[in-house]
Amino acid sequence: MGLKEAARQIKESLNIVDLISEYVSLKPSGRHYLGLCPFHADRKPSFIVNEERQIFRCFGCGTGGDVIAFYMKFHNLDFVEAVKELAERYGIPISWKEGASSPSRVDKGSLFSLNEKAKRFFRQMLWASKVGETARVYLKERGLSQETAQAFELGFAPPSYDGLASHFKLAGVDLSLAEEAGLLVKREDGSFYDRFRERLIFPITDASGRVVGFGGRVLYKGEPKYLNTPETPIYHKGSILYGFSQTKPFIRERGYGFVVEGYLDLLSLYEHGVKEVVATLGTALTPQHVRLMKGLTTEWFLVFDADEAGVKAAMRAAPVCFNEGLYPKVMVLPEGEDPDSFVRQNGSQAFLAFKEKAQNIFDFLIDTLAKRFPATLEGKMALLREIQPAIEALKDPVLYEIQIRRVAERLGVSEQAVKQRLLLLDRRPFKSFSEACHKGYLERTILEFLVHNPKYIPEFEEIGLGEIFQTDLYRRFYRALLTLDEDLGVADLTFEDLDLQALLSEILLSPPPFEEVAPGRIAAEIKGWWLKQRHQRRLEELLEAIKAAEASGQSEEVLRLLKEYQELRCQI
């Protein structure tokens, strides 16, 4: 089975509405389903999913395509990875031989199942082993119940160097694969030892609950305090929110969520009944994080420390969130407290009371920065420079104006002055709108016509119409159209390229051009127009040649060319 065939099988077996619903909340609306786009700053739903055609499309950012395209884009995968993962997750039997073209890579499925085995081993060690006693005591001291520990499937890595290693060996596991999964480390002599030793273990799952890696915390003293799985083919910490798969129902139910930094912050809150929470595991918020968050709700509270690190984190988070269309609030706990210590001392009511004092992230930044910089001209300029990335990430024009006004008020200068200053700071190249719009309009119309009327493709190709596609994207799309099987519709085209996917979905969801005119007439007009173009070009070439021949005194040649020129002119 070829890759294309496998892709087709996946498209036939999966319903795009079901799959996308796992990540985006969709509501039926007319002939489509509607939701907030996970790929851009979307404030009112502009993301539609068409069940009939099995495609999605965002009218805000132009993303679109089929179920595979969505999966690729959402999880940041290439085409082959997406096809394999989809087949695996949804149990679609596909079998194709990976040709020499795709590099031999570790099978992700076996890494998942290895992690699953390790998770069971660690749990066994926590609850049913003698060495696990210290960890059980530790949990009690941290105020974590067995229910909470079970809900997140916590475990314990025994103190020895060959706890997991010998367990795996006995179970006949390929140890080098376990190294690939970040569970074991290879010694110089080729033997393996446990990466996690004498640590409380937090299994880290992806959005659908599969174990992608582990975090390990020392129980009492030791360095480093936290140890995580290194980056592996299935563990990319920038795209994982700890707790997401367990707490997403609570976040959906409450309609808001908290973002905290560490495992224990999350677990303590959960223990005290604040279950609507996810954790970033010590990395700055990434666009992938924000997309996951947005899929659940748009009301988020970023819980930061009151110190300098908190301000920095907010400063970094703001443009990332704005770029994705999320406008979170910032919650700052009292000096010296983190969510874990705070909720254990003061309880969930006190924690939730802080939520009421949360400021939107922009106000928080302005207020904090204004306190930091002196009210001099230099101070104001410095503040503007700091806040510039956040302002520029505001794609919504109304919000942009509002925030400019806020900054102006705060600095005691006019809005115009703020805008001018920002322009001076801005060094992005200016793009001409009209240039982008006019170029390619004709190419576009012809492509649209062909997508809606594929039977004219061979006729057009025969007279060399492909030459008109000067825009790279359109040219590639046209070439793909040429490979279409006669018995297949255009919607059956499978593109590996997301740009082509987006273009196809866009064209399929828009009405055909000149809808009221019969396709045959349009085809004839386009062909006529093209032949005229070609004639025109030939005439120009002839004129040039005539001039050249005259200049070099080749009178016979001049006559011959003139004759051809006149004949051609009569034809038009």
Which residues here bind Zn ion, judged by CB under 5 A?
A: 37, 39-40, 58, 60-61
Q: Is the dihedral of CA 478, 480, 485, 490 positive or negative?
A: negative
For residue 72, give both structure tokens.
Answer: 């690729």
* Smallest distance, Zn ion to C-beta of residue 40, A: 4
408 closest CA partner among 420, 417, 400: 417
CB atoms within 10 A of CB 131: 15
* Smallest distance, Zn ion to C-beta of residue 297, A: 18
> What phi and psi values does residue 127 have, to the nearest 5 degrees?
-95, -25
Q: Which is nearer to Zn ion, 58 or 266 (CB)?
A: 58
* Smallest distance, Zn ion to C-beta of residue 120, A: 40
* Smallest distance, Zn ion to C-beta of residue 59, A: 8
- Within a 13 Å sphere around the CA of 559, how many CA atoms are in the beta-carbon half? 3
Q: How far is CA 376 from the centre of its chain?
A: 41
Q: Which is nearer to Zn ion, 61 or 175 (CB)?
A: 61
* Smallest distance, Zn ion to C-beta of residue 36, A: 9
* Smallest distance, Zn ion to C-beta of residue 63, A: 5
* Smallest distance, Zn ion to C-beta of residue 83, A: 23
Alpha-carbon span 388 to 422, nearest angstrom: 7
11 closest CA partner among 400, 489, 383, 414: 489
For residue 426, give both structure tokens.
Answer: 């801005």
Alpha-carbon span 287 to 265, nearest angstrom: 22
CA angle 274, 275, 278 (to 5 degrees): 110
For residue 260, give both structure tokens.
Answer: 């905290």
* Smallest distance, Zn ion to C-beta of residue 23, A: 13
Query: Position of tokens 């993303």?
Result: 63
Q: Which is nearer to Zn ion, 39 or 112 (CB)?
A: 39
Q: Which is nearer to Zn ion, 239 or 505 (CB)?
A: 505
CB atoms within 10 A of CB 279: 27
Alpha-carbon span 58 to 35, nearest angstrom: 9
Host H or E run for residue 244: helix 244-254
* Smallest distance, Zn ion to C-beta of residue 180, A: 35
Q: Which is nearer to Zn ion, 39 or 460 (CB)?
A: 39
* Smallest distance, Zn ion to C-beta of residue 38, A: 8
The DSSP bridge pattern shows strands 64-65 and 155-157 to be unpaired
* Smallest distance, Zn ion to C-beta of residue 432, A: 23
Report the SS3 class of residue 418.
helix
Q: Which is nearer to Zn ion, 3 or 58 (CB)?
A: 58
DSSP 242: B
The answer to whether residues 48 and 509 touch, using CB atoms and an 8 Å cutoff, is yes
* Smallest distance, Zn ion to C-beta of residue 32, A: 14
Alpha-carbon span 207 to 245, nearest angstrom: 5
* Smallest distance, Zn ion to C-beta of residue 436, A: 18
66 closest CA partner among 116, 127, 118, 4: 4
Question: 93 CB contacts (<8 Å, ≥6 apart)?
Answer: 87
Q: Which is nearer to Zn ion, 63 or 228 (CB)?
A: 63
Q: Which is nearer to Zn ion, 72 or 260 (CB)?
A: 72
The answer to whether residues 163 and 204 touch, using CB atoms and an 8 Å cutoff, is no
Q: b/e map of 153-187 (b: 16 or more CB within 10 Å)? A: bbbbbbeebbbbbebbeeeebebebbbbbbbbeee
Q: Which is nearer to Zn ion, 61 or 442 (CB)?
A: 61
Query: Position of tokens 């001392």?
Result: 345
